[in-house]
């Protein structure tokens, strides 16, 4: 470490005072002169430390309801003055400007205020001016100044003060500056997004302050990073760290399970459900979900929307899987799963998820609204002579939820709240249907009385004909083809029901 700087003067003005006390005691011990404002000044005095009001330094009061208090040359000169520039030093001496070696400043809680639903006037008042300017100034002059812009860094600073007796190294100051610019850039992005909610020509800006380096990306030769706070989303009870591919599958699993309120378990492989069932009890849901395709289930991601008990855990434990997600587990269930150290067991926490999706593409980024709708029986318009029964409508609703979260082109067969089979990601819809029929037959499912859902319209009547011949009695599709009538006529000819929803659910 090189270029040590001894802290002699500090400016402290913070919104959050958590864990600030040890820093004040260390600065007091080291004889550091402290400048402060408002509530922070009062807090420091309450700890028995000497403090100088910024107003006394600037000879200018806090004005405009506190909007202007630190915006003064004696404050910013003390932060921005270069210690090794003779001209700067001469001017600082001329205007009696003290060198400020440590700045501890955070920002008004703008994002929190927006999330609270506060009115525009309250939100605007939480746009920090002086604080963000002080942070930028101190971070810019990191060669001479320490900047601490977050309560998350208080403990580290206290340790430095204690073990290095108020002396900091250039590497430490640069690290604090990097974190400070992360905070200011994120803050500016949040403000921009607030003001751009109704813009007709949006600008793409995203800022996520936390990240996790992954073992690798989709393949070992690719680097991978997750930007976000996984700890807020999941509590890990067992297993290794989530990989890039795990995260992609977990995201798909969460989106799918959120469609269901009754006890449901889904098994996913490469983001597609290879098994899913809704039952009265979670254990029953597991048994029937696994029965859909026990071959593909090997090494998959499992998600439940109810507590996993010991009996269910015993059954699940018979299968090799990568990740299991549930809102809760009994203690005995956890002990069962912890018998194998690498399997990832996650407790899902209630976290608000984004309603926008985006990804890099070509030389830019594409963004869209998340597909937040799925059509139930009330949105299913019968178009055939035969009307679907109440039971078929219920199964069509189940199938429609699954088809929405399955790769296009896709066909889903379902019966009695259970996935029978699906054809996924094929280049023609008829190939998807044929794939689904073969899979259903290979696992011993009788498709007589089952229903079929398609993520998009049928361009020809061949899918309806093949489905009817396989035993399907009701079909759901969005409609919209110029040849819709051909499919309707085929359904009438085969004596099966068909409904149209008017909503396509492509998932590329």
- DSSP, collapsed to helix, strand or coil, labels residue 452 as strand
d(CA 298, CA 311): 20
- DSSP, collapsed to helix, strand or coil, labels residue 400 as helix
8 A C-beta contact, residue 168 and residue 200: no
- DSSP, collapsed to helix, strand or coil, labels residue 426 as coil
Give strand pairing partners of 419: 414
- DSSP, collapsed to helix, strand or coil, labels residue 428 as coil
d(CA 134, CA 15): 14
Active-site hit among 126, 270, 386, 391? 270
Active-site hit among 140, 151, 162, 391? 140
Give strand pairing partners of 393: none
Q: What is the H or E stretch that residue 237 is in?
A: strand 234-238
- DSSP, collapsed to helix, strand or coil, labels residue 473 as coil
Going by C-alpha positions, the residue among 165, 187, 190 that lies closest to residue 105 is: 187
72 is catalytic: no
d(CA 13, CA 279): 57
508 is catalytic: no
63 contacts: CB under 8 Å, gap ≥ 6: 69
Largest separation between any pair of C-alpha atoms in the chain: 98
The separation between the first and the last C-alpha atoms of the chain, rounded to the nearest angstrom, is 51
How many residues comprise the chain?
508
The DSSP 8-state label assigned to residue 116 in this structure reads T
Strand segments, DSSP code E, in 126-184 are: 146-148, 167-168
Asked if residue 380 has a cis previous peptide bond (ω within 30° of 0), the answer is no
8 A C-beta contact, residue 490 and residue 461: yes
d(CA 38, CA 123): 21
Tell me which residues are annotated as active site: 140, 270
């Amino acid at each position: 470490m090189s270029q040590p700087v001894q802290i002699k003067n500090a400016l402290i003005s913070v919104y959050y005072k958590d864990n600030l006390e040890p820093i004040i005691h260390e600065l007091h011990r080291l004889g550091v002169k402290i400048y402060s404002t408002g509530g922070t000044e009062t807090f420091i005095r309450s700890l028995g430390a000497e403090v100088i009001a910024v107003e006394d330094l600037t000879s200018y009061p806090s004005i405009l309801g506190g909007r202007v208090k630190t915006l003064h040359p004696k404050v910013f000169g003390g932060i921005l003055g270069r210690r090794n520039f003779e001209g700067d030093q001469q001017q600082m001496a001329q205007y009696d400007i003290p060198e400020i070696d440590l700045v501890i400043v955070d920002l008004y809680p703008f994002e929190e205020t927006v999330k609270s639903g506060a009115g525009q006037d309250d939100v605007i008042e939480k746009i920090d001016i002086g604080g963000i300017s002080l942070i930028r100034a101190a971070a810019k002059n990191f060669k001479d100044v320490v900047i601490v812009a977050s309560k998350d860094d208080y403990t580290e600073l206290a340790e430095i003060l204690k073990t290095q007796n108020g002396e900091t190294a250039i590497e430490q100051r640069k690290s604090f500056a990097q974190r400070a610019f992360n905070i200011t850039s994120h803050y500016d992005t949040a403000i921009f997004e607030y003001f751009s909610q109704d813009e007709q020509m949006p600008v793409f800006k995203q800022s996520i302050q936390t990240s996790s380096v992954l073992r690798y990306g989709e393949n070992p030769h690719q680097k991978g990073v997750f930007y976000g706070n996984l700890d807020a989303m999941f509590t890990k009870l067992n297993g290794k760290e989530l990989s890039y591919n795990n995260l992609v599958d977990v995201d798909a699993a969460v989106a799918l399970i959120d469609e269901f309120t009754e006890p449901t378990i889904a098994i996913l492989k490469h983001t597609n459900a290879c098994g899913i069932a809704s039952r009265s009890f979670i254990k029953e849901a597991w048994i029937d979900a696994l029965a859909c395709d026990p071959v593909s289930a090997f090494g998959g991601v499992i998600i439940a929307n109810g507590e996993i008990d010991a009996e269910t855990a015993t059954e699940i434990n018979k299968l090799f899987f990568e990740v299991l997600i549930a809102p809760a587990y009994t203690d005995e269930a956890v002990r069962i799963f912890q018998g194998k150290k690498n399997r990832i067991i996650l407790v899902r926490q209630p976290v608000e998820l984004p309603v926008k999706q985006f990804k890099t593409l070509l030389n830019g980024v594409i963004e869209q609204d998340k597909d937040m709708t799925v059509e139930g029986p009330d949105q299913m318009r019968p178009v055939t002579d035969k009307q679907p029964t109440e039971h078929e409508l219920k199964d069509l609703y189940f199938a429609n939820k699954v088809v929405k979260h399955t790769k296009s082109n896709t066909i889903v067969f379902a019966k009695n709240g259970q996935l029978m089979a699906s054809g996924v990601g094929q280049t023609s819809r008829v190939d998807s249907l044929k794939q689904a029929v073969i899979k259903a037959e290979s696992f011993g499912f009788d498709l007589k009385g089952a229903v079929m859902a398609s993520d998009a319209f049928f361009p020809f009547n061949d899918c309806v004909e093949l489905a009817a011949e396989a035993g399907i009695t009701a079909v759901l599709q969005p409609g919209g083809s110029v040849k819709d009538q051909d499919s309707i006529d085929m359904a009438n000819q085969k004596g099966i029901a068909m409904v149209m929803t008017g909503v396509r659910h492509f998932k590329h």
